[in-house]
Structure 1
Amino acid sequence: MTSGADLRTLRKSRALTLAQLAEAMGRSLGWMSQVERDVSRISAEDLAKLAQILDVAPSLLIQPKAETPREEGRIVRADRRRSLGHRHDGLIEALISPDLTDSFEIVHSTFLPGKALPEPVHRETQEVGFMLSGRLDLSFGDQKFTVGPGDSFRIRNEPYLWANPYRETAVALWVISPPIY
């Protein structure tokens, strides 16, 4: 089951109108509107196409069923996190937030040993990371830092690089505003 509210957030974060997304999908504006309002269900094929257009993992578009109805939209069990896929080699991410409808999202990021971003990432966001384990090298322009367990960092709409040249996996919680995944 997709979350229409999450779909709307992703569409807007990519500066797409409902009509533009419908056109890219090869579907009617009415159908797209129904999907965003959770009135219509979508096929696996449409889900894959939406994910491709929005440049997200298909799993992000599937709202996992809450363990109990009272937990829906409030509690995310560890075994029910939505995978964000593998946008970068050596980075595994999962959504910790219940959905994308808040002004921020929280992501669990795992950086594999010996991996690094090949090119700087620049997002129009404000981000704060908190290191849970391992070490990570961060670069902001010509400034370089190494962060470890208990350290935090902030990125404000600027290019950055990360690298894990170490032997152990690094894990961080990442708060991103506005939601982009």
Structure 2
Amino acid sequence: MTIGENIRKFRKLNRLTQAELAEQANMSRSYLADVERDRYNPSVETLTHLARVLRVSPNDLIGSEGDGRSGSSQALSAKEERDIALDLERMISELESNEALAFHGEPMDEETKELMRISLENSLRLAKSMAKAKFNPNKQK
């Protein structure tokens, strides 16, 4: 499911209208509608606000974003899963160092670290799936 589909699912589980959720998350209803339709990608801050109101983790909203986007129905192998885990740990440790340009030496809080880890992991999975579909097209059928 996409981020928008996950937001809509949790909104309905909480029996909230778009207007109610938007008001509680401090955003316009039209922007929320566009996010639910996947017209816009919400910022980390927006995801955090929505998750707080919906009483779920940001990870629940991000869910399996890569599913369906690449057209790949093939699962990643154990080796590819290990590669993703190693790459993810390397990236996170580099971001936590004082030399990381993205944060200019300021320490990340735990919530930001977790959101960054989730985003990076989903990006790595999507990239692996897309590369697999591109370079092994006959295996995708």
TM-score (norm 2): 0.47
The alignment's TM-score, normalised by the length of structure 1, stands at 0.37
**Bigger strand share:** 1
Higher helix share: 2
Query: Which structure's relative contact order is higher, taking Cα pairs within 8 Å and 6+ residues apart?
Result: 2
